[in-house]
Amino acid sequence: MLKQESFQVDAVWQRLQKEVVEAGLCTHCGACVGLAQGQLQMQQTVRGPLPVQLPDGKPFDLDERAWAACPGKGVDYPGLYRYLFGELPQNWLIGCYRRTYVGYATPEAVRRAGASGGVITQTLLYLLETGKIDGAVVVQQGRTLPYLAESVIATTSAQILAGAQSVYQPVPVNEILGEMAGFNGRLAYVGLPDQVASLRELQRQGHPGATKVDYVLGPYVGTNMYLEAIASYLRGNGVNSLDEIAELKYRDGEWPGYLMIRLKDGRVFKAEKFYYNYLIPFFITNSTLLSVDFTNELTDISVGDAWHPRFEAQGEGFSVVVARTEKGEALLREMVDAGTAVLEETSLEDALSMHGHMIDFKKRGTFIRLAWRQKMGRRVPYFGYRPVTMPVSRKLVEMVISSIFAVCGTSLARKIVEQIPLKIIGPLFDTLRKTWKNLSKPTKRKGLAQVEFEICEE
C-alpha cells in the first residue's frame, strides 16, 4: 500500500519531467520546486533554470497540485477568467479589464528606479505604507550572485525599491511558495504571466502560501532572454566569464534606459535598450515564443511601457496601466487621490495601439507556432482557447519571423554576432527592426482587432 502511494505521488514529478521539462515546455516558473518541500531545486542551464531532483534522488511526495499549477503544460485561461472575474473577456487581446491608464509614480526616485514609470514599485510601496500588506514578493537582482536574480519577500520600503526594474532573464519566482506559506501576514505578489497563472491556479486550489496574496501585479511580457545573452554580450566585449560581473541592471538610467554591466575590475559597459535588443532573436526563451499572454491577464493590475511618440519624446518614464479587478481599480484611484501616482485614463484602442506588434505576436503568432509544433509531433501547452481563423498572409509573416529566430538561435549565428561591435549591430538591428515593423504592419494589424476566439477542448 505504502509503496503504491509513493509511486503515485512520485508520478507527478515524473509526469512533469517527461511532459514538460524534457518536452522543452518548462517556463522556469519555479512552482514545482516551491511545492516540493526541498526535494527539488532549480538548476541554471543554457536553456534557463530547470527543476531537478536533489542529488540523492529518492522517491518523494510532490504535491499533486504541482501538475495543475505548472504553466509549462498549459493554463486553463477560460477557467481562471471565470474564477477571477466571473466572466470571459469582452476583448481577448487584453483580457478582462475595467480601465486603462497612462501614468507614473509621483516620487521622482521611484519613477527613475522603475523600468517604465515605476507604477508597480509605487503600488507596492503604497500597499505596505498603508498597512494593506505586510510583505511583497518581488525579484531582486544580484542578491547572491551579481548576474542572477531571485525572488524575495520584501518587508520594507527599501527592499521593495531594491526590486524595481525589469530583469530580462527567467527568474523562478514561485520557488518561494514554501516561504510564502510560512509568512506571517498578508502579501502582494509580482510575477510574469506564466508565474501569475500558476499562482492563481494555486489560489483556486487553496494553497496556504498563494491564498495569503491579496494583490497580484505584473509587467507586460513580450520576450525574455536566456542568461546566455549577457554572457554573449560580454564575450563580444572580450570578457569571458559572468563571474567578472559586479553589478548588472537591464533598465538603468532614464526611461527607456540602458543595460549597465559593471565589472569587478571597474570597467562599465552600457548599451541603450533599443540597441541591446539585438540579442533577442539570438537568445529568446522558448516559453515567451509559446506564451499567449502579453498583458499579464490574470493580475489585479498589469503594467507596460507606454510606447507612444507623445510620451517617448518626454523621457522620464511612462507606463500603460490596466486595472483588471475592482480592488485593483480602487487601489489605483486611492493612490491618485493620495498624490502618489499620476494616472490619466486612456481608451482601450489607444492602450492596445501602443503594443499592436506584440499583441499580434502572442494572439496570432503563438497560435501559429503552436500549430506548427504540433504538426511536427511535438508536445504543446494547452490554453483553452484559440483564434477561430488565421489568414494565410499572417502565416506567411510568421514563416519569416520564425525563420529568423531559428537561424539566429544556432550556435554559428550566435558566434558571428559576437564578432560585430555594438556600435554597428545596435543601430543596424534597430533600423532592421523598424523597417520590418513598417513592412509587416499592414498584415500584422489587418484584422487583429476583429480576430474572434473560441473556447476549445484539449
The contact set with ligand FAD (CB under 6 A) reads 114-121, 138-139, 163-168, 171, 173, 190-192, 219-222, 224, 303-305, 319, 355, 358
Least distance (Å) from ligand FAD to the CB of residue 141?
Answer: 8
Question: 177 vs 352, which CB is nearer to ligand SF4?
Answer: 177
Q: Which does 292 bind (CB under 5 to 8 A by kind): ligand SF4, ligand FAD, none?
A: none
Exposed e or buried b per residue across 160-190, where buried means at least 16 C-beta atoms within 10 angstroms of its C-beta = bbbbbbbbbbbbbbbbbbbebeebeeebbbb
Least distance (Å) from ligand FAD to the CB of residue 160?
Answer: 7
Does 26 bind ligand SF4 (CB under 6 A)? Our answer is: yes
Question: 50 vs 417, which CB is nearer to ligand SF4?
Answer: 50
Q: Which does 304 bind (CB under 5 to 8 A by kind): ligand FAD, ligand SF4, none?
A: ligand FAD
Instruction: Please name the amino acid found at residue 70.
Output: C
Instruction: Please name the amino acid found at residue 72.
Output: G
Q: Binding segment for ligand SF4 among 67-75, 143-151, 259-267, 404-412 (CB under 6 A)?
A: 67-75
Question: 42 vs 62, which CB is nearer to ligand FAD?
Answer: 42
Identify the CA nearest to 168 among candidates 115, 245, 239, 237: 115
Q: Site size for ligand SF4, by CB under 6 A?
A: 14
Least distance (Å) from ligand SF4 to the CB of residue 185?
Answer: 25
Does 75 bind ligand SF4 (CB under 6 A)? Our answer is: no
Q: What is the DSSP string of 121-175?
A: HHHHHHHHHTTS-SEEEEEEETSSSTT-EEEEEE-SHHHHHHT-S---S---GGG
Q: Which does 29 bind (CB under 5 to 8 A by kind): ligand SF4, ligand FAD, none?
A: ligand SF4
Does 51 bind ligand SF4 (CB under 6 A)? Our answer is: yes
Least distance (Å) from ligand FAD to the CB of residue 298?
Answer: 14
Nine-digit cell at 175?
520557488
To the nearest 10°, report the CA torsion of 196, 129, 110, 347: 60
Does 193 bind ligand SF4 (CB under 6 A)? Our answer is: no
Q: How many Å is the maximal CA-CA distance in the chain?
A: 69
User: Taking a C-beta distance cutoff of 8 angstroms, is the pair 346, 102 a contact?
Assistant: yes
Residue 366: strand pairing partners? none
Q: Which does 32 bind (CB under 5 to 8 A by kind): ligand FAD, ligand SF4, none?
A: ligand SF4
How are beta strands 301-305 and 213-219 bridged, if at all?
Answer: parallel
State the angle between helix axes of 392-408 and 411-418 in degrees (0 to 180), rounded to the nearest 10: 70
> What residues make contact with ligand SF4 under the rule CB under 6 A?
16, 20-21, 26-32, 51, 70-72
